[in-house]
Structure formats: C-alpha cells, structure tokens
Amino acid sequence: MSYHPFGLSVIAAAVLLACHSPHAVAQTVTESIDKANNQVDLQQSSQKQFHYRQSDIALGLTGATVLPKAPNANVELMHRGVSDGVAIMQDGIFFSPAPYSGQNIVLQPNLQQQQSVTLSSMTSVVEGSEAAFGKLEYQSVAISEKKYAGEFNLEANDDADYSSGVIISGTTKQYGMLLAVDYQSASDEVGYELNRDADATQKDIMFKIDADSLPGARNKQTTEFSYQYSSQDTEQGTLGLTNNDFELVPNQRYAAANIDFTESERQRYVLAHKLLLSKTSTVATDFYYQTYAQKTADMLFVDGQTINNALLSDIASFEINPSADGMNLGALSQDNDFAGFGVQTKGVSMYGQHQVTYSARYHTDKAEMALAEQDWLWDQDLSLTAAGDKAATFVYKDDASAFSSAVDTRLNYGQWSVNLGLGYEHVSVSRNVSDDYDLVESDFSDDGWMPSVEVAYTTGAWSAAVQAKQAWTAASAGNLEQEAQEALQYQLAVAYKQDALAMAMTAYMHDYDNQHVGCMFGMVCDYEQITLQENIQDVTVTGIDLSAEYSLMFDRFSIPLKAKYQYTQAEADSGYCSNSNGCFDGETQLPWVPKQQLALSSGVVVGNVSVMAQALYQSELEYSGNLVNLGSIDSQWKIDLAANYQITEQHEVYLRVENLFDETLVANRTLAGLQAQSEMTTYVGYQARF
C-alpha cells in the first residue's frame, strides 16, 4: 500500500456567507425545510450527551436510510432506494477523495469532530451530479471565537475498549487555530473453537488555521487552511456464520477468518476563501487535495470457488471436526490508492428581492486498484498457513475528470417564490488495464443537463414547496453499457416550525430510466463485483417522510423529542438478473431497500441530571428473492441509552449503553454467512470543558 500523492484534481464547492438581506441564504425552500427538519445538531445537549464517535441512529435521525453494520465498520447508507449519486460531504467538499472513480469506498467522519450533520433529500442543481440524488452534509467543529477553549473526553467500556480525544482552539486578533486529536481502541472476543481477539484502532487528527481580512481591506474576507488525517486498522472481513451457528454464538467467527483485515489511511488538505463583495453578494472558493490508501484481505474462496451456502457449511463442519488433510482456502486481497484534487466556487447575489446562485467545479480523481488472490491451507489445528505467493487477478487504473456549472434563480413575490435552476456537467472516465489481465478497458465521456423548478409558499410558521428535477449521475469506468443514472424527481414538502415545535411531511416519486448498482451491502464482492457497475432499467421509487421535533418545558424538568419516519417503495418494472446481484422479480421491493425506517430520540432533563434514549427501527430487507434465495434480514430494533451528570459547568460524567436489550441484530447476510452487530455494551466516560 503506497501513500504517494497523485497528480491533479480540482473541485469547487459550497460554503456561503450570509448576506445582510434575510433572503440571501442560498437555499431553495425545499432545502430550507430539510435543514430545519433533517439536521442533527451534534453539539446540542440532547445529542451531545451520547458522545458517539460513529452511530447509525444519529444518521437515521437525519432521515438517511442507514444499513446495518458490523462492529468497528463505517456506516453505509442510501437515500430513497439508491446509493450512487448520493454524496457524503464535509464543509461543502466531498468526503470521499474519489467520488467518481472510487464508488465502492465507504467512509464516514468521526462524530466527535463534527458539529452537525444534515440530509438534503432533494438537492439543488448547484450541487452537481454526484449529489443529484441526495446529500449528507457534515459541518466540522469550528474554531472558537474565545481566546482559548477546549474539551477533553475519555471513555471505556465493559470489554476494556477505550477512546480518548481532545479539541483545543482559540482566536486572537485576526487569527484563529484549532487542533483536534482522537484515538479509539477496541478488542472483541470472536473465537469459535480457538480463542481469538479481533482488534481495531482508529486515529483522527484535524488542524485548522484561519485569518480575517487585513485592516483597511476594501472587502471583508476570511481564509482558512485545514488538514485532516485518519487511519483505521480492523480485523474484520466478510466471512460469517451459518444460520444454526449464528443462533448459538452470533458474535463469534470461524478460524478461517483469522487473516481478515482492513488497513486504511486518509489525508485531506483544504484551502477555503470566503469573500463579501458587497452587502448583497458573496463568493466562496475552495481548493482541496485528498488521498486514501486501502489494504485488505478477505477469506472468500474454498478450492477456488466463491463461498456459498454449501461451502460455508463445509467450513463450519471443519471448524468442529478438522481433518488431517486440511482445507484449501483463498483470500481476496486489495492494495488500492485513491486521490482527488479540485477547485470549486459558489456565489450568491441579490437583485432587489430576487436571488441568483451560481456555482462551478472542476474535479479530477483516480483509483489505482490491485486485486489478488492468496491461497491458504487451513490445518487440522485450525491454524492458517500461506500456500504460495499472492497471484494478481486484476491490476488497473480508473481516471475521471468532471466540469460542472449551474445557475439557480429564486424569484420572490411576497409569500410566493419560484426557483428556476439549470445545471450542466461533463464527465470523462477511462480504465487502463495492466497487461495480461482479462478486464475490459474503457474511455468515454458523457454530458448531463439537470433542470429544476420549484414553486413555494411561506406564511408565518408554515411553508410548502413543490419541486421537479431531472437528476443525472454519470456512469463509472466499470459500466460496460456506459449508461448514466437518470431519473425524473417530483416532491411535495410541507413544514411547520414555531418556537419549540417543528414538523414536516414530504411525499415524492422518482422515475428512473436507469439506476446504477455495484458492489454494495448484502453482496459477496469478489473480483467481478468490485470492478463492475451494473444497470437496472425502469425503476420507480415512491415514498413519504415524516418528522417531528418538540421540547416540553416544565418548571423543574424538560422532555426533548425528535422522530423521523420513512416509507419507501422501490420497484423495477421487470425482473432483473446478473452475476453480481442475483435475480429478483419485477414489481417487487428492491431487496436492499427497507420499506420502513423509524428513528426516535427522547428523554428527560432534571437539573444537572439527564437520561436520554435513542432508537432505530428498520423493516426487513427482503433478500429472499436475491442471491440464490438467501432469506431476508428480519425487522430490527436497536435502542441506546445515555445518562449524564453535570458535576460543574466544566465537568461531566456519563454512562452509555448501546443495544440496551442485548438483541441479536444482523449486520450482514450474504452467501458468506451471517454477521452480527455489536452486542450490549456499556460505556463510562468523562468530559471536561475549559
């Protein structure tokens, strides 16, 4: 795994200064409704007291569809039945270093170093094609305006896992600085017949320095440089348990998986400049460069065949009754490097009561992929011995470059407003394959136009918006048909917000001409799935989202409440079969899309003591029609509890219990078996603020 920098990539993004006019916020009414109802303030006391570093429940409270995850794994998500074209962003910039070339990367930031996360369910055209079908936006912790401020966190759980982090920041004169460092260490007992601990560590570093405009400058401006570093090392792979073994010991693993691991390292450099041109015009420009290196090993083969139900049963039998002949296994290994560099700009100008938002972005990224197979002998003592050198299967490089521009005009007429937007993007992708590897090369480009119209009405605490948009996301280099993902999107959003009460309802339909699928949740991703992107024709997604947030205030205590409910129906007009995703019938729910999801957060605050609970419900994932009749993942409830005591204004102790009722929750169900989510885990922590 190499960590060398790579050529050039430019991206432009969205960070806005608010103008002095109340209408100068660069948002459609639909986006304003999303921000009011789909935002989780991670610094708010009711959320902050959970002290999460990663949480599917917290993301579920934004309205994102979160898929089950194994311990110490990043949360994978989709939105309204699709994962391609749904961007994860931080401070207006793609969080992934290679959103075009590295579409199988699953990354999420450390929540300890974020201040909020917001889901945009129907994005503006200024966001570009990679966010055309939704956007999850993180805002990282900001530099304190005080001369000196900080916080320190330390927690440990009943398995002796521990985490510790510190954030220090301050501002003097025109300069500000922030340093955040966080470290996590975990070890789970996972041995089935052999005693074994699966270790996981993660390190996160964030540094920021900013400066205001010089004295006497004609226009107010700020410039900020930021650097982020993160690394993850986990001993986790795809191999799971048979149904029978999962019922008995859901959190254990067969010794065949003892070589599984993932190592990764990510770096990000950003220079952000914000300029107030006048009282009614602002411009924000970002330059960034990111790298991500990934190295994995995953036991996926028996006698050269990809593990299936029958071969998994053979592995389970050998674990109990090993033979002197041993068993021939094979591991898929990856040694991949991703990088991206870009520049983006976004501006907002007011013309009387009307507003114009414009954006432009140039972006280029690459993925250097090296996939290989390593043979292993599983001996009678259940140890694993390498049976030869790694044999490269595919070595290739994907490159992508994209230029996008967009204009969005908001015409305000009293309580009515009309948004007219038009976006354009040109994407070029290529795949170069090293000699002697049986993989199709590609070199093509595509253009997409993304028109949008919104009509909205706002009066008092009520707002309503009807929006229609043509959404488009370019095909990747692994799409053999070179066919873009396209859909007509229609949405009605109604919201009410006054004092401590906020409610919203959105109803939508997305009519896909073509939808992309690739190496995703619920699949055993071998060489072919990793390299290819496939297409499903004529998919229709309809649904409704409901949200409510309220805080009951009494003389001696308060009760905060937040709820998000989603109903999603995603169906293809006709049946679908492929080597990657198996088969399912037409006019049935896409097997990787849960029909219902509910996220809840509530509790009670009495003086210096608070008790909060958060819950996530997800209906079954209907894998019975997919991947050779796997069976479904039944509906699941997950509940976390947090209790806090504020000793003084600066010192706090807390207790957090994850999976409160110790439910056996499925993290993944593939042909390689069942894996469990974390069992009930109790954390004790201390937080200091200074």
Task: Report the candidate in 492, 508, 512, 405 with the shortest Cα–Cα distance to residue 85.
Answer: 512
Task: Report the candidate in 465, 491, 356, 470 with the shortest Cα–Cα distance to residue 410.
Answer: 356
Segment 275-320, tens digit of pLDDT: 999 889 999 999 999 999 999 999 999 999 989 889 999 999 999 9
The C-alpha atoms of residue 168 and residue 205 are separated, in whole angstroms, by 12
Q: Could you tell me which residue, 98 or 390, shows the higher pLDDT?
A: 98
> Rounded to whole angstroms, what are the CA distances from 481 to 365, 476, 535?
22, 10, 8
Q: Per-residue confidence at 582, pLDDT binned at 50, 70, 90?
A: low
Q: Per-residue confidence at 630, pLDDT binned at 50, 70, 90?
A: low
Question: Does pLDDT of 580 surpass 60?
Answer: no
Query: Mean pLDDT throughout 111-127?
Result: 95
Q: What is the pLDDT of residue 523?
A: 67
138 touches 116 (CB < 8 A): yes
70 touches 246 (CB < 8 A): no
Q: What is the pLDDT of residue 526?
A: 73
153 touches 686 (CB < 8 A): yes
Segment 217-266, tens digit of pLDDT: 788 899 999 999 999 999 988 899 999 999 999 999 999 999 999 999 99
Q: Is 616 helix (H, G, I), strand (E, B) or coil?
A: strand
Query: Mean pLDDT throughout 103-111?
Result: 91
Question: Does pLDDT of 584 surpass 80?
Answer: no
Query: Mean pLDDT throughout 140-164?
Result: 95
Question: Does pLDDT of 639 surpass 50?
Answer: yes
Q: Is 380 helix (H, G, I), strand (E, B) or coil?
A: coil
Q: What is the pLDDT of residue 16?
A: 34
The C-alpha atoms of residue 271 and residue 342 are separated, in whole angstroms, by 11
What is the overall mean pLDDT for the chain?
A: 90
Q: What is the pLDDT of residue 521?
A: 66
532 touches 518 (CB < 8 A): yes
pLDDT above 90: percentage of residues in the chain:
76
pLDDT above 70: percentage of residues in the chain:
93
Query: Mean pLDDT throughout 489-502?
Result: 94
Q: What is the pLDDT of residue 149?
A: 95
The C-alpha atoms of residue 368 and residue 644 are separated, in whole angstroms, by 47
- 17-55 as b/e, with b when 16 or more CB fall inside 10 Å? bebeeeebbbbbbbbbbbbbbbbbebeeebbbbbbbbbb
- Is domain 29-334+344-433+440-689 in CATH 2.60.40.1220, yes or no? no
Domain spans in the chain, listed from the N-terminal domain onward? 29-334+344-433+440-689
The C-alpha atoms of residue 356 and residue 465 are separated, in whole angstroms, by 18
Q: Per-residue confidence at 325, pLDDT binned at 50, 70, 90?
A: very high
Q: What is the pLDDT of residue 300?
A: 92
Q: What is the pLDDT of residue 626?
A: 42
Provide the CB-side half-sphere exposure for 301 (13 A, CA): 18
Segment 12-54, tens digit of pLDDT: 333 333 333 333 345 789 988 998 899 999 999 889 999 999 9
Query: What phi-psi label fits residue 661: left (phi over 0), alpha (psi between -120 and 50 degrees) or beta?
Result: alpha
Return the number of other C-beta atoms located less than 10 Å from residue 272's C-beta.
Answer: 22
